[in-house]
Amino acid sequence: MKLNGILSNIPLELNGFSHEEMGDEHIGSSADTPMRPDAFVLTDEEKKKHIEAHFREIMLILGLDLQDDSLKGTPERVAKMYIEEIFSGLNPANKPKIALFENKYQYNQMLVEKNITFYSNCEHHFVPIIGKAHVAYISGGKVIGLSKINRIVQYYAKRPQVQERLTNQIGNELKKILGTEDVAILIDAVHLCVSSRGVKDTASSTVTAFYSGKFEEEATKQEFLKYLS
């Protein structure tokens, strides 16, 4: 299938504003990751071939010599990295398989897993977001393996993102899997679109939070935050 047929009719404006008018504005247009209906018409291998060809063209436009030993393999490496690694969370086939267990310990307090390191990419400039996620839940009868919490965070991080959406996606996914409303997420991240370009502020970070169920109660929320300090 030709790539041109898939990518036709993509709008060049958002909500009536051109990209130039939007500038560097922080915009989140959807609670779900914006995906086209034909997102998976191409196989992963076909996508790699198209990305490789187009990234090679970008490098040539930039004036780089692709005959150089250091550069000639870059288009293929980038294509493989996009599909298999940093944007692998776009494909539902890569969603982690989650097994639940009975809460046989009858542990009815909050469980907190903090400092989950993740790497994502800003969907506005395709540069890294580097952060830590802190996750808590109170069992409603089921528990989840600790490593699976990390895998859920990584799955939603490995796609073009805005931090607010990432926070909500992790929180809502855990609510659905665990069958409980009692979930809290806090994410603290550095956006390289802020620190390495534009305003070039290297000191700031962005914090977002998701509180549901008992975590909306001030005492429970403060207990969670106390564990993070």
Active-site position among 134, 154, 169, 193: 193
Active-site position among 123, 154, 161, 169: 123
Residue 125 annotated to the active site: yes
Active-site position among 124, 161, 169, 173: 124
Residue 26 annotated to the active site: no
- Exposure string for 14-37, b = 16+ CB within 10 A, e = fewer: eeeeeeeeeeeeeeeeeeebeeee
CA dist., res. 136 & res. 112, Å (int): 4
Q: Two tokens at 138?
A: 């109170």
CA dist., res. 98 & res. 163, Å (int): 24
Active-site position among 52, 154, 161, 191: 191
Contact in structure between 167 and 210 (CB atoms under 8 Å):
yes
Active-site position among 154, 161, 163, 169: 163
Residue 122 annotated to the active site: yes
Residue 217 annotated to the active site: no
Burial of residue 88, with CB atoms counted within 10 A of its CB: 0-12 exposed, 13-18 middle, 19 or more buried:
middle
Q: Two tokens at 90?
A: 């776009």
Residue 193 annotated to the active site: yes
Contact in structure between 214 and 101 (CB atoms under 8 Å):
no
- What distance, in Å, lies between the first and last C-alpha atoms of the chain? 53
SS (H, E, C) 93-158: HHCCCCCEEECCCCCCCEEEEEEEEEEEEECCCCCEEEEEEEEEEECCCEEECHHHHHHHHHHHHC
Active-site position among 21, 109, 122, 134: 122
Active-site position among 50, 125, 164, 181: 125
Enumerate the active-site residues.
122-125, 163, 191, 193
